[in-house]
A and B are shown apart, each in its own frame.
Chain A
Amino acid sequence: DADVTQTPRNRITKTGKRIMLECSQTKGHDRMYWYRQDPGLGLRLIYYSFDVKDINKGEISDGYSVSRQAQAKFSLSLESAIPNQTALYFCATSDFQQGGRGEQFFGPGTRLTVL
């Protein structure tokens, strides 16, 4: 079984629609992250959460919101999708370790297309 799962895996939607991407993990990690990946721009951090009560903006949070429903679940919402939010979205987890060395693990990704 996959340690980090994302649903849906693919989604096509229209401008202005609300979209929710979901992430679940069975790794028992406390830290969860949402990234988007665009060709030539690499991975960019949208939001991150260190625990259920600790949610923080990343470098490109405008137009997105998140919810950490439980230690194992972290959802990303696009309240009103726009075409430039078309991208590959990844959820990731990491385990906090002494000195912050924790390895980060990625879910399979969601390919989102906004028409």
Chain B
Amino acid sequence: QKEVEQNSGPLSVPEGAIASLNCTYSDRVSQSFFWYRQYSGKSPELIMSIYSNGDKEDGRFTAQLNKASQYVSLLIRDSQPSDSATYLCAVKTPGTYKYIFGTGTRLKVLA
């Protein structure tokens, strides 16, 4: 079992719709969770971090964390073609150096 799993996609959504991206992780003691957006050939850009169970909203983005289910998700409201990118989920366990990255979900927003 991979430490951080994401569906590779592509996930296609129409412009204006809600895109839902999911991530599961295996280490129950993980406490820090991050979502990055990566355009092709570019570097990962941090868009959300979440540490507590529940929802965290920032503009059109909402991160959701459920530690009991070892599940973190990212919702993108009013999706725009410019949101088309690969979204990486990353998990960090306290007291360690490692950020464990998923391989990413490719999102395509159709105009």
- Chain A residues near B (Cβ < 8 Å): 31, 33, 40-43, 45, 48, 50, 56, 88, 90, 94, 99-109, 111
Residues of B within 8 A of A (CB): 31-32, 34, 36, 41-46, 49, 51, 88, 90, 92-99, 101-104
The B interface, classified by DSSP as helix, strand, loop or mixed, is: loop
Indicate which residue in B46, B51, B94, B103 contacts A104 across the interface (CB closer than 8 Å).
Answer: B46
Q: Is the pair A101, B51 in contact by a Cβ cutoff of 8 Å?
A: yes
Report A81 CB to chain B, min CB distance, Å: 21
Q: A41-B103, A43-B88 are contacts. A100–B43 as well, Cβ < 8 Å? A: no
Q: Least Cβ distance of B6 to chain A in Å?
A: 9
Out of A31, A40, A45, A100, name the residue touching B32 (CB < 8 Å): A100
The answer to whether residues A43 and B51 also contact, given A100-B92, A100-B96, A106-B44 and a CB cut-off of 8 A, is no
**A107 to B98 CA separation, bound complex (whole angstroms):** 18
B103 engages A100 (CB within 8 Å): no
Distance of A104 Cα from B48 Cα, bound (Å): 11
Bound CA span A33–B101, Å: 14
Q: Out of B44, B94, B99, which one reaches A99, CB within 8 Å?
A: B94
Instruction: Note all chain B residues with C-beta closer than 8 A to A100.
Output: 31-32, 92-96
**Given A43-B101, A109-B43: A104 and B88 within 8 A (CB)?**
no
CB contacts (< 8 Å) of B102 on chain A: these are 42
Q: A90-B43, A106-B44, A109-B42 are in contact. Are A101 and B32 (CB under 8 A)?
A: yes
A104/B96 in contact, CB under 8 A: no
Known contacts A48-B97, A108-B42: A101-B103 contact under CB 8 Å:
no
